[in-house]
A and B are shown apart, each in its own frame.
Chain A
C-alpha cells in the first residue's frame, strides 16, 4: 500500500524566514508526486507535479524537489499570504492518489 508521511505537522515562520517541508513516500511505481495548497474551508489547490528523481519545479516563493524516497517543498522569504496547509500526494501504478496528512504553515508579519 502506498504511504505518504509529511513533516513537520506544523511550522510557524517569521515573514522572510525561509524553510522546507518534507514528504517521504513509499509507492509501487511512482506515476507522479503532487503538491497542493489548502486554505481553510477550501479545496486543495494544485501547485506542482514531479515525475522523476532530480526534477525541480518553481512557482513564486515555492520550489519543489524530488528524490527516490522524498520530496521537499522549499518556501523562500515567505509572506503571510503563504500561510496554508501544504499537502503532498503520490500517484502509484493504479494512478490513485494517496495523500499525506499535511503541514500547516503559519507566517507571521
Chain B
C-alpha cells in the first residue's frame, strides 16, 4: 500500500460529459502529480502541484484542469470527454520535488 488514495477506481461515462477524479496524497507529502496511462502512449505526465500551487505542466489538454486544496488533496477535472480520453489516470505524491514519487492504484476511465 503506497498510502496514495484515488477515487473512484472505475468510471464509465459518455462522450461530451465531465468527470472529477480525486486523489489523497501520502501523509506528509506536499507534491501531487497526475499521469495518464494508455496502451499506446505509456505513462504521460499531465500536471504537478506543490503545496497548493501549480508547478509544472506536461501534455495536458485544455479540456483538463486540476487543483490542489489546502488539505493537500487534489482533483483532476476532465470535460467534453472524447473516446480517446479512455485511459488509466494515476496520481502520485512525493515529500518534495525531485524525491521519489509514490503512486496510487489509479482510476480507470471508460468513455462509451
Which residues of A approach B to under 8 Å, CB–CB? 31-32, 34, 36, 41-46, 49, 87, 89, 91, 94-102
Contacts and interface: CB of A to CB of B under 8 A. Distances in A.
Contacts of B90: 43-44
Nearest to A100: B42
Given A45-B2, A87-B43, A97 B105 contact: no
A45 B105 contact: no
6 contacts: A44-B92, A46-B100, A87-B43, A95-B97, A96-B56, A97-B33
B101 A95 contact: no
Contacts of A99: 42-45
Contact of B103 (A31, A32, A44): A44
**3 tightest A-B contacts by CB?**
A43-B103, A99-B43, A101-B42
B58 interface: yes
A97 B4 contact: no
Given A45-B2, A46-B103, 20 more contacts: A32-B98, A42-B106, A43-B90, A43-B103, A43-B104, A44-B43, A44-B92, A45-B103, A46-B102, A49-B100, A89-B43, A91-B98, A95-B48, A95-B98, A96-B56, A97-B101, A98-B45, A100-B42, A101-B42, A102-B42
B4 A43 contact: yes
A85 to B, nearest CB: 10
Contacts of A87: 43
Nearest to A47: B100
A31 B44 CA distance: 18
Contacts of A94: 56
Contacts of B103: 36, 43-46
Given A96-B58, A99-B43, A43 B98 contact: no
